[in-house]
Amino acid sequence: MARRHQDIVGGVLAGAVICYLFQKWIASKTSFRSQETNLKEDIVEGVEGLIGNTKLVKIKSLSEATGCEILAKAEFLNPGNSPKDRVALEMMLSAQDKGELTPHENDVVYEGTAGSTGISLAMLCCSLGYKCHIFMPSDQSKEKSDVLELLGAHVQRVPPAPIVDRNHFVNAAHDHALQHTKDNSIPGKGYFSNQFENPANWQAHYKTTGPEIWRQCGGKLDAFVAGSGTGGTMGGIAKYLKSESPSIKICLADPPGSGLYHKVLHGVMFDLAEREGTRRRHQIDTIVEGVGINRMTRNFSIAKPHIDYAYRVSDGQAVAMSRYLIVNDGLFVGSSSAINCVAAVRLAKQLGPGHRIVTLLCDPGNRHFSKLYNSEFLKKRNLDASLPTSLDFVNP
């Protein structure tokens, strides 16, 4: 009788265990199906869908050295490897809305550019159904023109000239676009995107980059630092951040040969290498590409009222910072990114520990092998290409 009782109890327990395991299995299957049901597709449309929402990264070495949190928006991770992707897309979509561009009708986008905007335009022309014709100064790195040609753009490299000269790369692009549209023998229309004066430039960053920085920082930042070429990036981001918090400090990083530093600090467009009024800046003045200018643009006029500080960053500092970031952070960036980081460190020292400073990493190093990462070229310019062991080179 006792044995029979034990068998019954054992059977009941075994059955209970089996029922429990069966219920767990059913629950897991139901949960899995529920997860499958809740999955949402995350697919973007074309290369244009890859633009924006770049990561905000803490640069560990600079943060540890200064006691500030120095963050950088990794704009080189855009599909065209620069923040100019945002600008190019906004300009082209705006032109389409106005009827100035019609896809797949042999329309040609013309632009005068140091390279990055041209690459962004050429990339988007491939995706959106246009042709691209780029004019760029002949002293820009060959890597950029090579990429442009691979993207199918027609590239014309022209000698550096003052903006008052019709042979200036921007004027050449404008004139060719106008001639294209007037000449009925040439298929399609010519559209001059006019990045220096087109308000779609700063608006692109006001709509996207500025809000992204604010969101990624959780609304907590003390300063923003960047260089300026057309003025659109600085204009859009500065205008947006100041609208959210007027106490945020905006700082300009300016290379040699550019007049923006003096324009911000003293109200006069001037550089020691040039006299006021000539509006002339040859890239031979600096190895830094993509930032710095000697005239007021419509886009920079949006930025100027919001800028609180300005720093002049030398070529030597840019070279040293590019090497410092490689060795200490594994960040392989270009010259404009390097000057941004130099200025960020200088601002951190000025503000003191405990502040959060945001800047941009706007170009990858692989577009700068012929200059910034060319030891022979740097040697001819009397620039030291050795690896710095500290941030002492940042001191003015």
Catalytic residue numbers read: 84
> How far, in whole angstroms, is CA 276 from its chain's centroid?
30
The DSSP H or E segment spanning 335 is helix 335-351
d(CA 291, CA 254): 7
d(CA 175, CA 165): 12
d(CA 92, CA 84): 12
Which amino acid belongs to residue 225?
Answer: V
Sheet-wide strand order for 131-137: 154-158, 131-137, 108-112, 190-192
d(CA 282, CA 340): 21
CB-count burial class (<10 Å; 0-12, 13-18, 19+) for 9:
exposed
DSSP label at 77? Answer: G
Q: How far apart, in Å, are the Cα atoms of 259 and each of 46, 246, 262, 347, 383?
A: 39, 26, 6, 20, 22
With beta carbons less than 8 A apart as the criterion, state whether 321 and 339 touch: yes
With beta carbons less than 8 A apart as the criterion, state whether 321 and 329 touch: no
Q: What is the DSSP string of 3-45?
A: HHHHHHHHHHHHHHHHHHHHHHHHHHHHHHHHHHHH-------
Give CA angle at 125 (204, 119), nearest 5°: 70
Residue with tokens 């299957």: 29
Q: Which of 119, 55, 115 is nearest to 89 (CA)?
A: 119
With beta carbons less than 8 A apart as the criterion, state whether 389 and 323 touch: no
